[in-house]
Amino acid sequence: MAKEDGFRTQKRVSSASSAAAGVLPTTMASGAGRRPPPRGRQIQKTFNNVKMTILCGFVTILVLRGTIGVNFGTSDADVVNQNIIEETNRLLAEIRSDSDLSDSNEPPDSDLDLNMTYTLGPKITNWDQQRKLWLTQNPDFPSFVNGKAKVLLLTGSPPKPCDNPIGDHYLLKSVKNKIDYCRIHGIEIVYNMAHLDKELAGYWAKLPMIRRLMLSHPEIEWIWWMDSDALFTDMVFEIPLSRYENHNLVIHGYPDLLFDQKSWIALNTGSFLFRNCQWSLDLLDAWAPMGPKGPIREEAGKILTANLKGRPAFEADDQSALIYLLLSQKETWMEKVFVENQYYLHGFWEGLVDRYEEMIEKYHPGLGDERWPFITHFVGCKPCGSYADYAVERCLKSMERAFNFADNQVLKLYGFGHRGLLSPKIKRIRNETTFPLKFVNRFDIRRTTPLKIEARS
Amino acid sequence: MAKEDGFRTQKRVSSASSAAAGVLPTTMASGAGRRPPPRGRQIQKTFNNVKMTILCGFVTILVLRGTIGVNFGTSDADVVNQNIIEETNRLLAEIRSDSDLSDSNEPPDSDLDLNMTYTLGPKITNWDQQRKLWLTQNPDFPSFVNGKAKVLLLTGSPPKPCDNPIGDHYLLKSVKNKIDYCRIHGIEIVYNMAHLDKELAGYWAKLPMIRRLMLSHPEIEWIWWMDSDALFTDMVFEIPLSRYENHNLVIHGYPDLLFDQKSWIALNTGSFLFRNCQWSLDLLDAWAPMGPKGPIREEAGKILTANLKGRPAFEADDQSALIYLLLSQKETWMEKVFVENQYYLHGFWEGLVDRYEEMIEKYHPGLGDERWPFITHFVGCKPCGSYADYAVERCLKSMERAFNFADNQVLKLYGFGHRGLLSPKIKRIRNETTFPLKFVNRFDIRRTTPLKIEARS
């Protein structure tokens, strides 16, 4: 019948258009033996179909929004910005994979023989003599200048960008902080961004680098390792090197925690000094064997956890390994190790960062201890990585405060200070003058006589 | 009728359940005078309702996915990582807004009087005499050491994290590159991360800082400004300061571009040296007035675009302003300005970065010119910002190459080199030895006699 045919056709059209629009059919395909629907009903169905079409289109846009960069209510600039960031992230992934690929072209190093003790390099036994001879032959490169021993500060960070975008920014601020301190105190800096030994990556990477610097810089008397998450907070304080005339390793810690409790945090390897001498090379050689990554480091970690109080279960870290070494070979090493705690060669941040305002009110730079900490060390914050032990907000704000607390001491010479310990902005702290040199004489830290540390009972 | 009542009830129930499920009703609400639908049709309707419910639920999940962190097929670690990154971004926004808020507590500075010329500070007229007297009175702080003038390298970056996450990583690598060069050559570094004058932010920020450093460091003979996007690529080359005995500003450029063409790129303010003297203070004072942001800088930009060849239309930048100043007051200033182009005090990156392998093959460090560029300057790459003039990939890979090209020269002393110019990984370039000092004598750059620049026709 014409009507039926018309209906059937209409149905097929509506089904086809429904299918095309991805709409669930609202009528049965087969039209045999049915009456044509009333007009009002037809309008209702059409309306429903349109609503379904719009809904599905909306879903499509939502899903594709991230892919095609369509954002509601944002400008072209944001789209460009987002595109640049996405391209950057793509390139980062490429750089990371490139560096992995380039390794695959190299012949694989022979596997570590687990029966042989790992070494940092060929055994040198006469370094003191070699160095002494060299210094005699090279008077232009003395190891003491104006009575002060030459010190080189070694710090660094991994070669690749941080997992957390804010990490690189805090690494930058951290190195600026070190540049300021070292400029004021005539200390050279080496910022290491390479792994000299792929077996000793991570926190172990400092060992081969310390050794390499000793052997390459005979004019340097002390190599000072400092973590990237440790900031100078006393810009005046100087390490009293004369205290260590008879020692070769200076490290912050507590003898009772070390010898009585055998605690895994008895010493802190975030900031320590090695004299450039044979003894230090020997200690590095004795320290390194727990470090090679893989089964050696894993197994060594178990030994350390079993023997050191409070140590969680994880692979061997350099700090625990050093504590274990000094405990188990006490007679060999401890005579030349100075366990320092009269000032904060390492100052754990949690007890310090909230007191900066109090310190400013009551004390002054140059003390280096709990009244005005020499170094504030953000152990556990890990701004470069992803898995911190402390809340991100607490860490970042505390690091900001420490940085500005230190920066104020540097800016003082220039007549400026931060508006607040959380503010990157600065303001004048004294008026300008046409005779600026009077302030240079007063405020240049290089003219401040270092305070002597009084012996404490 | 019972049947009708039953139908009506059933309809209300089905409408209610449809409404509850958020499903578009598929039947009309009014049920008067209708026959109850066949069972098969009812099942079909129920099925349609269920499909609609599932679809809308899916849409809800998609929309909320970003908010509640539900990702399909990712691990807990990724979720934690993502949460940390999101919290970090939130904190970044807070730090940025905090610093804006802290300003609002300060009384507003009086608006710049557009009728008065902006000044960097009170006019000093006898700086040469002040400085000379101070140096005489402070023999412990000489301005020349072992015949070499004391140089301070000034560089820096804005106080806040980069818009582009990779930006801070390249700032970090850039400052490491500068630390290496300056350690080798005995140059002090100041890394500025503060705006001394909020009127002169951005590229103008260097002017108040240069002035401040001159007045605060009378022992410094030369202040050397270097952009954060400029890298040292010749670790041996030294600036031949004796060439500039009769000059006070050393800047890379081309005299014909300057005087004949009045080109806006005739000089480059990415790397230049100012002698610490009265003349330099005067030039800074003459340079600064185009800098204050807002209407002054905008209007000045128009003047510069109108007068300098090739300059696009944008606010006044320090480079164009200096060129314009030196052209319009040529007789006042040019006698003491050395326009240098015999080596790459500034080397535009595009013509250099692809030739590093060729340079390694044919030449050696120490030349400083097109054979081995002293400085490779990534003008227009802007890794810290969002709107670069060049493709991101080209820029980042080129900066990586320049960094590693330079780093190889530093690592050589330590016996290492990068696996490739794009690789962050390093490999040994010579065997270890028990007598490392022979390599120190050969490879320590401090022992290399700087090459003299031959006068070129």
Domain boundaries along the sequence of chain B? 118-428
- Chain B: give the shortest CA distance to residue A428, in Å: 8
Which residue in the block uniquely carries the two structure tokens 């055998």? A262
Mean pLDDT in residue range A399-421 = 97
- Whether the pLDDT of residue A424 is over 80: the answer is yes
Predicted confidence at residue A201, as pLDDT, reads 86
Cβ distance A193 to B424 less than 8 Å, yes or no, reads yes
Predicted confidence at residue A456, as pLDDT, reads 40
Predicted confidence at residue B17, as pLDDT, reads 40
Q: What share of chain B is helix, strand, coil (3-state, %, to 5)?
A: 50, 10, 40
- Whether the pLDDT of residue A312 is over 60: the answer is yes
Instruction: State the CB neighbour count (10 A cutoff) for residue A455.
Output: 7
pLDDT digits (tens, 9 = 90+) for B155-207: 999 999 998 879 999 999 999 999 999 999 999 999 999 988 888 988 899 99
Q: Which residue has the higher pLDDT, A228 or A54?
A: A228
Predicted confidence at residue B44, as pLDDT, reads 73
Q: Say how far apart CA A180 and CA B196 lie, in whole Å.
A: 17
Predicted confidence at residue A413, as pLDDT, reads 93
- Chain A: give the shortest CA distance to residue B266, in Å: 30
Mean pLDDT in residue range A361-387 = 93
Residue numbers in B near A24 (CB within 8 A): 48, 51-52
**Tokens at A319, concatenated:** 């700090």
Q: What are phi and psi of A82, to 5 degrees?
A: -60, -40
pLDDT digits (tens, 9 = 90+) for A342-352: 999 999 999 99
Predicted confidence at residue B383, as pLDDT, reads 86
3-state SS class at B296? helix
Residue numbers in A near B120 (CB within 8 A): none
Q: Which residue has the higher pLDDT, A92 or A53?
A: A53
Contact A12, A30 (CB under 8 A): no
pLDDT digits (tens, 9 = 90+) for A386-396: 777 778 889 99
Predicted confidence at residue A78, as pLDDT, reads 58
- Chain A: give the shortest CA distance to residue B320, in Å: 26
Please tell me the class of the B118-428 domain: alpha beta
Predicted confidence at residue B69, as pLDDT, reads 41
- Whether the pLDDT of residue A67 is over 50: the answer is no
Which residue in the block uniquely carries the two structure tokens 């606010």? B315
The whole model's pTM is what? 0.80
Establish whether this prediction's ipTM goes over 0.85: no
Cβ distance B434 to A162 less than 8 Å, yes or no, reads no
Cβ distance B212 to A415 less than 8 Å, yes or no, reads yes
Q: Which residue has the higher pLDDT, A33 or A393?
A: A393
Cβ distance A407 to B194 less than 8 Å, yes or no, reads yes
> What are the 10-residue block averages of pLDDT along chain B, 457 residues in total?
38 38 38 51 71 65 49 50 60 51 41 70 96 96 94 96 91 98 98 91 94 97 98 98 98 98 98 98 97 95 98 97 98 98 98 97 97 97 80 92 98 96 94 92 81 46
Mean pLDDT in residue range A336-347 = 98
- Whether the pLDDT of residue A43 is over 90: the answer is no
Which residue in the block uniquely carries the two structure tokens 């910005």? A81
- Whether the pLDDT of residue A16 is over 90: the answer is no
Predicted confidence at residue B38, as pLDDT, reads 58
pLDDT digits (tens, 9 = 90+) for A151-169: 999 999 999 999 887 999 9
- The percentage of chain A sitting over the pLDDT mark of 70, rounded to a whole number, equals 74
Instruction: State the CB neighbour count (10 A cutoff) for residue B41.
Output: 12
Q: Which residue has the higher pLDDT, A63 or B423?
A: B423
Contact B208, B200 (CB under 8 A): yes
Predicted confidence at residue A393, as pLDDT, reads 86
Predicted confidence at residue B118, as pLDDT, reads 81
